Amino acid sequence: MRWTPGGDNEDIEDRRDETGGGSVGGGGFGGGRVGIGGLIVLGLLSLIFGRDFISPFLGGGSPAPVERRPDPVRSEREKPQKDFVGFVLGDAQKTWEGIFPSLGVPYRHAKLVLFRDAVDTACGGAESATGPFYCPGDEKVYIDLGFFDELARRFGAPGQFAQAYVLAHELGHHVQKLVGTEAKVRRAQQANPQAAKALSVRMELQADCYAGIWGHSTQERNILEEGDVDQGLAAAAAVGDDRLQKAAGRRVSPENFTHGSSAQRVAWFRKGFSTGDFNACNTFAREQE
């Protein structure tokens, strides 16, 4: 991507050298208990990331706070990534500021929190291995910059636009919060728990489409370079539920999808990218292919 490093983004909160509290147990992320389905997901994450996510729940306790000392060497090494994250966040939010007047809703900036190892949020505690996520409770995106190494090495999706796709996807969840989609989906999931996963898939695919809308704006402004779109598509495919299930040595179980297949994620990113149209991202109005 064509971008100029430098300049601070006031929407970034740097907590990388703070002490990490935070459990993913106890109340759990999002405040819910973990049932059989949740344990399967935790087992899948354990296989993928090589870390034990299950024991804290089975033991009934919470992981101890992570004590950290400032790491200026790592911070300096991560500075280019921090600058890039700041650019993408700022550019994407400017794009949505331009779109929201037509939606009749004011746009509020999301904050982005950089952390290491573990973090406390309004949605509960989380660890870096959870991957980037958006918390609607405090309207913040959380990311450990080490995830980008995982994205390239473990998931085979290197490049800056792959990283940008991840951030734009999480910001898409902020858009859903502001326009009311997130609240409607949560109510529908509570009313019909059997449809909870299917509704989650539709919401995640819509965030992919919103990420594509930002990608469309970058193409219009000629800041994309050759290969950038392929990087974004590779990232979307890399985090498809079917691919993650296969990577964990499990059979592909569409009934257990929560984010959508690789093909679905690529298709909806493409739709947003090709149209730049907010209304084209209504994943709730049609059956998934």
Summarised one tens digit per residue, pLDDT across range 116-141 is 888 999 999 888 877 889 999 999 99
Residue 3 counted as domain residue = no
Residue 54 counted as domain residue = no
Residue 152 counted as domain residue = yes
Contacts of 85 by beta carbon, 8 Å cutoff, 6+ apart: 12, 112, 114, 143, 145, 163, 167
Residue 50 counted as domain residue = no
Distance in angstroms (rounded) separating the CA atoms of residues 168 and 89: 8
Residue 16 counted as domain residue = yes
Distance in angstroms (rounded) separating the CA atoms of residues 278 and 210: 7
Residue 245 counted as domain residue = yes
Q: Give the number of domains in the chain.
A: 1
Residue 239 counted as domain residue = yes
Residue indicated by tokens 């990232």: 235
Which range is least confidently modeled, 37-51, 162-176, 199-213, 264-278? 37-51
CB 31 within 8 A of CB 115: no
Domain region containing 231: 12-21+67-285
Distance in angstroms (rounded) separating the CA atoms of residues 265 and 207: 9
Distance in angstroms (rounded) separating the CA atoms of residues 262 and 233: 9
| pLDDT single digits (tens) 163-178 | 888 899 999 999 999 9
Q: What's the rounded mean pLDDT across residues 57-63? A: 42
Residue 128 counted as domain residue = yes
Burial of 22 per CB tally in 10 Å (0-12, 13-18, 19+): buried
CB 213 within 8 A of CB 272: yes
